[in-house]
Amino acid sequence: MKRLLPYFQLMRLPALFTALTDTFTGFMMTLGLAPFSDLYLLLLATTGLYLSGMVFNDVFDIKQDTAERPERPIPSGRVPWTHAVILGVILLLGGLGAAAAVSVHCLKLAGLIAVAVISYDAILKKTWLGPLAMGGCRFLNILLAASAGVSIIAPWQNTFQRPHLGLALGIGIYIIGLTFFARTEALEKSRKKTLILGILIANAGLGVLFWLVNVWPGDIAPSNIYFGLGVIALVLNRRWVRAISNPEPRFVQAGVKSGLLSLIVIDALMLYWKTGEPMYSLIVLAALLPAMLLGRLIPMT
């Protein structure tokens, strides 16, 4: 286990569960449990694509991490750089292969995610396009999950449909904001303007979800979902505002961690709104347990 821990840290394993619940929610909102084999494969696809992105993040950041975060797995020598590259390639190809096993259309969407992942890690991360790429990955991941059963006649037209399009847009914008918020988390003092911009964009993403509940019919009364989303927004904004008042790494990183874990709760709430099935939402909420337990040993950011 001690030998594997550095690799789990490299992959930032706790954060994976937020991507898996996105996949589960996107799939269940549009297809239900049939076919279950497709859901299983898409969860594998998400796992491979997401974890490869985490690995390549450190592969391309080797010089910066050596100077600023020498305790990270690669610069500390606990994970050889070549091993990290091999692991990243295996995960990426595994994710693409799982998507291909569902359909050619899903492979195309997975390919777009792979391009966005590598572009972010290698080129865009330090630019203002970086958060857009991160949000794009989440946006495409939900569309991927919801596209397993699209029409073979007009697959792209069926991909960009509500309600999963609204969910993907809201989550994608939310991640753009959270990525802006996290941009300077490693600095001794984060830039307040960047933090504020991130908070505004993340709240805009939540606003899209409010809008979706208002305009699209679900099985649960919109007022109940408004209340749930409102509580989530209140809790998050209190923590984010605290980071603005004290822009130290521990407060900013705590805000990022809360933002990521809240994705699981958001997914559960949106799935309950659309399906009216509490059991599905409980399955999503169950992902909080391993994410929080692993988060005590492995940083999410």
CATH number at residue 175: 1.10.357.140
With a cut of 90, say whether residue 285 has pLDDT above it: yes
Residue 3 has pLDDT above 90, yes or no: no
Residue with tokens 């347990």: 289
pLDDT given at position 152: 67
Between the two ends of the chain, the Cα-to-Cα distance in Å is 21
**pLDDT range class, residue 185, cuts 50, 70, 90:** low
Q: How confident is the model at residue 182 (pLDDT cuts 50, 70, 90)?
A: confident
pLDDT band at 66 (very low <50, low <70, confident <90, very high): confident
Please check whether residue 67 lies inside any domain of the structure.
yes
At 147 the pLDDT is 87
Contact predicate 79/59, CB 8 Å: no
In a domain, 95, yes or no: yes
Q: Residue 71 in 3-state DSSP?
A: coil
198-217 pLDDT, tens digit per residue, is 999 999 999 999 999 999 88
Helix extents (H) in 103-151: 104-119, 130-146
Confidence of residue 111 (pLDDT cuts 50, 70, 90): very high
Q: Is residue 301 part of a domain?
A: no
**Which of 192 and 285 is assigned the larger pLDDT?**
285
Is pLDDT of 161 > 90? no
Q: For residue 191, which amino acid is it?
A: R
Whether 225 shows a pLDDT value over 70: the answer reads: yes
Q: How many Å apart are CA 142 and CA 94, to the nearest integer?
A: 18
Does residue 85 form part of some domain?
yes
Of the pLDDT bands very low, low, confident and very high (cuts 50, 70, 90), residue 34 is low
**Which residue range is the domain that position 192 belongs to?**
5-295
Q: How many residues does the chain have?
A: 301
pLDDT in tens, 235-281: 999 999 998 888 888 888 889 999 999 999 999 999 999 999 999 99
pLDDT, position 16:
96
Q: How confident is the model at residue 163 (pLDDT cuts 50, 70, 90)?
A: confident
188: pLDDT strictly greater than 60: no
pLDDT tier for residue 187 given thresholds of 50, 70 and 90:
low
| pLDDT value, residue 136 | 96
Question: CA-CA distances (angstroms) from residue 269 to 27, 61, 131, 211, 281?
Answer: 15, 36, 25, 14, 7
- Average pLDDT of span 68-86: 92
**pTM, rounded to two decimals:** 0.93
pLDDT, position 45: 98
Segment 130-151, tens digit of pLDDT: 999 999 999 999 999 988 877 6
Q: What percent of the chain has pLDDT over 70?
A: 95
- Count of domains in the chain? 1
Residue 300 lies in a domain: no
